[in-house]
Amino acid sequence: MLGKVTTADATTPLSTWAPLRSPIYRALWIAQLVSNLGTWMQTVGAQWLLVDEPNAATLVSLVQTAITLPVMLLSIPSGVIADLVDRRRLLLGAQSTMALLAAVLAVSTATGHTTPGVLLALLFLLGCGQALTAPAWQAIQPELVPREQIPSVAALGSMNINIGRAVGPALAGVLVSLSGPTLVFALNALSFAGIVAVLAVWRRPVKDRQLPTERPLAALQAGTRFIRAAPAIRRVLLRSILFIAPASALWALLPVIARDSLGLSSSGYGLMLGALGLGAVLGALGLSRIRALLTPTQRLTAAAVLFGAASVGAALLHHVALVLLLLVGAGLAWLLAMSTMNSTMQLLLPAWVRARGLSVYMLVFMGGQALGSLFWGLVAGALDSVAALLMAAALLAGSAVSSVWLPIRHNAEELDHTPSAFWPEPQLVVEPQPDDGPVLVLRSYDVPEDRVEEFLEAMAFVGRSRQRTGAMEWRLYRDVGVVDRYVEAFVVRSWAEHMQQHQVRLTAQDQLREHAVAEFGAGEEQITHLVGVDRR
């Protein structure tokens, strides 16, 4: 049955290909590959359509802007939406709409009505669709395969993108030269059909909701609080910036290096892109062995070194074969860095906030590439491309060295984020309304003097757990009127959000943290709930 995800893979040796044993994941991966090919073909067709227009250079550059700008503008709202609605239905509706928009572009081009304004507007709307689906697409991955296969899923996803990037433009170049851009636009419209068909067949388990759906603004604030109280996730985001910002220089300046330093034509530039894609594929093939040898932090260090070496080689070498060899290493490094950061994020995020967290990661990734490319282009214009690449390589070396002080979690796969509603239900005399609040929760602990340090250390983790799951404020107090009495106090925005804490947001990992202080609980009356009173 297509909709059933088997767990047999959990007992077999892990490999890059293990997720493809899941029928639904395999079908979606193939459909996504076809869609990626169509997207890259569409980009080439759009650029070709504009080359004969006045101000062609500006218009051609706006094609990429129209496609990527929506991701930067909408990734955070899209993450919120993906956590509040059924992700399968969201993907199904968005992909169907994108297929319709791509079909409109094909028909408009065939009938001669695709002006530059119409083209850029349709590309922008298609980019909005991509922005809307990206967080939901990432967030459903742990629903399709066992948790231990998430690193392999990240590698296969990166491989998918790189195959599309390497093959799509080359295929589009041939088709456009034979019949013009209309055909590639039509093929892109058809490429969405596979994803729509697989999503239509997939029977995603429906979870009963006992609580009302969070409001969008409250959900956004909850996601922000989670990231702010999760040092491990903030560390991944920082490591992403330290790698992506300087690495974007090679991507941005590669066409200039191909033409000016190596004397290559457009086909030679395509060969350089192909070398990067080949390196990514080779990296995905060997990822299981690399993961066995290196921790996530060591993989990021190796990626920074390899990509920095490729940047230096592209700047200083004039031998095409050597540059291509270094670019293969850069492609492997890119795959290594992207798969490590993506999989670590997915493993660190519980289901209730996964899309919101991944949307922040995607914003950092896309923003780092876009702003980094702009910065390095300005540096190359003020100095030259060689100086820009050498500066970027120096920053990548700094990124590698900083791993000593800024490591990321190496045991993310061991964290258990299974939902666990282990808090006892409040004993109420008055039933608050969902919007009543703020809610002040007090919990008392009796701690012997000889165990205070142990207790305080454990409560530091408990405090972060409270903040991740909804507390706007958290603090630990000592009751000076009672011997050895400590009182934990935290504030939640509303009664509805506190119920989200109770029934949805707590995980087995939170339970493990709380178990360390459970023995200190001060009897049956240890927990008090106070709801704010509106004086009006």
Boundary-marking domain end, from 415, 448, 464: 415
- Residue 2 confidence (pLDDT) above 60: no
- Residue 342 confidence (pLDDT) above 80: yes
Decide which of 38 and 204 is more confident.
Answer: 38
pLDDT, residue 5, reads 39
Are residues 35 and 192 in contact, defined by beta-carbon separation less than 8 angstroms? yes
pLDDT, residue 267, reads 66
pLDDT, residue 57, reads 58
Residue 428 lies in a domain: no
Distance CA 277, CA 295 (A): 24
In whole angstroms, how large is the CA radius of gyration of the chain? 26
Considering the domain architecture, whether residues 202 and 219 belong to the same structural domain is answered as no
Please report, for the domain that includes residue 106, its CATH number: 1.20.1250.20
DSSP 357-395: HHHHHHHHHHHHHHHHHHHHHHHHHHS-HHHHHHHHHHH
Q: Lowest mean pLDDT of 7-11, 65-69, 268-272, 443-447, name the range.
A: 7-11
Helix intervals (H) in 418-481 = 452-468
Considering the domain architecture, whether residues 96 and 164 belong to the same structural domain is answered as yes
Closest to 249 measured CA to CA, from 168, 158, 169, 330: 330
What confidence tens digit (pLDDT) does each residue in 390-415 have? 999 999 999 999 988 888 877 767 78
Considering the domain architecture, whether residues 267 and 330 belong to the same structural domain is answered as yes
Inter-residue long-range contacts of 110-117, CB under 8 Å, 24+ positions, other chains counted = 110/182, 114/49, 116/50, 116/53, 116/59
Instruction: Give the range with max mean pLDDT: 81-90, 134-143, 278-287, 296-305.
Output: 296-305
DSSP 276-305: HHHHHHHHHHTHHHHHHHS-HHHHHHHHHH
- Residue 62 confidence (pLDDT) above 60: yes
Residue 433 lies in a domain: no
pLDDT, residue 308, reads 95
pLDDT, residue 121, reads 92
Mean per-residue pLDDT over the chain, rounded: 85
Residue 420 lies in a domain: no
pLDDT, residue 98, reads 93
Residue 430 lies in a domain: no
Give mean pLDDT, residues 122-136: 90
Question: What is the SS3 assignment for 420?
Answer: coil
Q: Which domain holds residue 132?
A: 1-210
Residues of the chain with pLDDT > 70, as a percent, come to: 93
- Residue 287 confidence (pLDDT) above 50: yes
Are residues 126 and 45 in contact, defined by beta-carbon separation less than 8 angstroms? no
Q: Provide the domain count of the chain.
A: 3
Considering the domain architecture, whether residues 230 and 146 belong to the same structural domain is answered as no
Closest to 199 measured CA to CA, from 91, 334, 41: 91
Give mean pLDDT, residues 322-348: 91
Considering the domain architecture, whether residues 411 and 493 belong to the same structural domain is answered as no
pLDDT band at 7 (very low <50, low <70, confident <90, very high): very low
Q: What are the phi and psi torsion angles at 406 (to 5°)?
A: -125, 60
Please report, for the domain that includes residue 489, its CATH number: 3.30.70.100
pTM of the entire predicted model: 0.84
Distance CA 258, CA 269 (A): 6
Distance CA 150, CA 98 (A): 28
Are residues 387 and 214 in contact, defined by beta-carbon separation less than 8 angstroms? no
